[in-house]
Structure 1
């Protein structure tokens, strides 16, 4: 369905606006689907993102700045996200004894176990979300989006 039908307008939109509205609508559609899948695991998309970042540290702790730099959404309140993961026992915070201002965050075994359950669900969803595109189209679209962000 084209974006004009989705937003219920008969107006002929400029191509730039059509693209931007289509990107926003599609991103929201994907976020909604991913969020729905994560509800069963009682985590949000930003929490899932933090857990993946911490797992990517391969056992080394990360500081809040490292996590924030790697977040997909820079608008996320990283401290609040980490606090919620700590309450759920999916992450842990350790204060450096030599420098009390240095706080390190790591994923717990519970966090790793949760990701082991979530990963196949999200992988299947990613395939489902992109089922209407051929692999060449996925690569082309990825390249176009990377070019757009330059």
Structure 2
């Protein structure tokens, strides 16, 4: 199915406008596809993103600024998201031993366990493999990189 059929419109200013509409629509489609997996583990997409960043940082801690820099959604309030993850026991906060003004954030064993469970039951490639080959997925990624300059 094409974007025209999905949104029931053919009224685009030009092909670039159509591409932007298609990207936005596809972003929503991916989020809707993944939402049940996040809900199953009582996480939001932003919380999941922070947990993955923290897992990638191991064994080093992260700061809120590092998380903000690396998050997919730059408009997210990383500090509040970390607070919620602390309440859930998925991350911990502690004062940096070298700089008392800085706060170190680390993923907990419980946070690592949730990501391990999610990794086992949900593979990102499942989202694409019915419609795109590995080569096409690589081309799509390259084109998106090129678009962002």
TM class by shorter chain equals over 0.9
| Cα distance change of structure 1 residues 12 and 111 upon mapping to structure 2, 3 Å threshold | closer
Shift of 1:114: 0.8
Kindly tell me the number of residue pairs found equivalent between the two proteins. Answer: 148
Residue of structure 1 equivalent to 2:88: 88
Q: Does 1:113 align with 2:113?
A: yes
The unaligned stretches of length 5 or more in structure 1 are: none
**Distance (Å, rounded) in 1 between the aligned partners of 2:10 and 2:98:** 65
Residue of structure 2 equivalent to 1:149: 148
Residue of structure 2 equivalent to 1:129: 127
**Distance (Å, rounded) in 2 between the aligned partners of 1:11 and 1:109:** 51
Q: Secondary structure at the match of 2:105?
A: strand
Q: Deviations over 1:40-79 (max 9, x none)?
A: 0000111011001111111211111111111011011000
- The list of structure 1 runs, each at least 4 consecutive aligned residues, that deviate by more than 4 angstroms after superposition, is none
| Cα distance change of structure 1 residues 75 and 122 upon mapping to structure 2, 3 Å threshold | farther
TM-score (norm 2): 0.92
**Distance (Å, rounded) in 2 between the aligned partners of 1:56 and 1:26:** 27
The unaligned stretches of length 5 or more in structure 2 are: none
**Distance (Å, rounded) in 2 between the aligned partners of 1:99 and 1:117:** 35
What pairs with 1:12-31 in structure 2 (closer than 5 Å)?
Answer: 14-31=14-31
**Distance (Å, rounded) in 1 between the aligned partners of 2:5 and 2:103:** 50
Q: Secondary structure at the match of 1:137?
A: helix
Q: Secondary structure at the match of 1:106?
A: strand
| Cα distance change of structure 1 residues 34 and 97 upon mapping to structure 2, 3 Å threshold | same
Aligned-residue Cα RMSD (Å) equals 1.5
